Amino acid sequence: MGFMALFLETLIGGVLAGTMYSLVAIGFVLIFKASGVFNYAQGAMLLFSALLFVTLLKLGWPIPLALFATMVVTVIGALAIERIVLRPLANRSTMTLFLATLGLSFVIEGLAQGIMGTEVHALNLGVEDLPIFWGDILISQFDLYAAGVAITLTLLLALFFNKTRIGVSLRAVADDAGAAQSIGINLNFIWQVVWAVSALVGLVAGLAWGARQGVSFNLSLVVLKALPVLIIGGFTSIGGAIIAGVIVGAAEALAETYLGPIVGGGIQFWFAYFLALIFLFIRPTGLFGDAEIERV
């Protein structure tokens, strides 16, 4: 295999895999943007929905029904979390809110594993991971699907945020919650919507990751993969999450292929953080983070 072909194959594989990081990061961005909460429990929610879905499949439910039931339960769970845990804490410090979601993540993980068990389940979505050849270059069909899902989801969210009443209200709340209230926007309702949407995004991410690496406790650790993506893309930009996910995916793959042999493997565990650190130095708000729009 030639140099160029290897390079391209690594790059494309990395870019496609990176959209999976984006999927996870988007769930964080939604809640953070609208309410300033860094929802550490996003990973646990993602684990919970994937685990519920495989459990239902194992019980013999057909895929569409299991998917629907999982969606319903996930959304209800997210609404309950917002209502019972986060809303009473509104206006508290960022640290308090973060710690609340951290605690929540252990509760959800514990509950999920207590009820549905701790073994690793395979998740088969009916998408076979056949290699596709494009000339010399091998592309994973699964990655292609995952990227397609990520792109579709992003387009849907973009439509939602720009064309619907609730979507525009949501951006308004993100900009200035006080002013949004003053014109009759119900903040509690908006936060409920945001948690529900974010739970659904988490479900999609959970299924994609679950299908790739099996459904187990490890799934909730994808949070740690999302963190560098958020630092690079900015915590408040969905577009940023997509692009940063792709950057991280591509950089990781290239580093693994070209630097891995030099530094002796294991590079995928830390390279994303290394990249994020560099970004923190040059652009602390992330690529698309909200620098205040203001005239000087």
**Pick from 43, 85, 36: which is nearest to 201 by CA?**
43
The answer to whether 59 contacts other proteins (rule: CB under 8 A) is: no
Nearer to other proteins, 69 or 287 (CB): 287
Question: Which stretch, 24-32, 70-78, 167-175, 247-255, contacts other proteins (CB under 8 A)?
Answer: 167-175
Give the residue from 177, 190, 193, 180 showing the smallest Cα distance to 91: 177
Q: Which residues pair with 140 in a beta bridge?
A: 131
Least distance in Å: CB of 185 to other proteins? 6
- State yes or no: residue 294 binds other proteins (CB under 8 A): yes
Q: Are 25 and 198 in contact, with CB atoms under 8 Å apart? A: no
Interaction between residue 15 and other proteins (CB under 8 A): no
Alpha-carbon distance 115 to 173, whole Å? 37
3 state DSSP class of 245: helix
**Residue given tokens 């290699």 in the structure block:** 131
Quick one: 58 or 92, whose CB is closer to other proteins? 92
Stretch touching other proteins by CB under 8 A, among 118-126, 165-173, 206-214, 267-275: 165-173
Site for other proteins in 77-96 (CB under 8 A): 90-91
Q: Does 11 bind other proteins (CB under 8 A)?
A: no
Among 169, 198, 216, 220, binds other proteins (CB under 8 A): 169
E strands in the chain: 131-134, 137-140
Q: Interacting stretch for other proteins, rule CB under 8 A, among 9-17, 58-66, 162-170, 262-270?
A: 162-170
Q: Which range, of 38-46, 145-153, 178-186, 270-278, touches other proteins by CB under 8 A?
A: 178-186
User: Any contact of residue 287 with other proteins (CB under 8 A)?
Assistant: no
Question: What tokens appear for 221 in the block?
Answer: 């650790």
* Closest residue by Cα to residue 89 from 77, 76, 103, 75: 103
In contact, 203 and 71? CB cutoff 8 Å = yes
Nearer to other proteins, 185 or 223 (CB): 185
Binding footprint of other proteins, residue count (CB under 8 A) = 25
Nearer to other proteins, 83 or 171 (CB): 171
> Residue 50 and residue 231: Cα distance in Å, rounded?
26
Q: For residues 65 and 291, which CB has a smaller minimum distance to other proteins in the complex? A: 291
State which of residues 16, 23, 29, 185 lies at the interface with other proteins (CB under 8 A).
Answer: 185
- Cα–Cα distance for residue pair 292/82, rounded to 1 Å: 27
Helix (H) / strand (E) containing 137: strand 137-140
Residues forming the site for other proteins (CB under 8 A): 90-91, 165, 168-169, 171-172, 174-176, 178-187, 290, 292-295
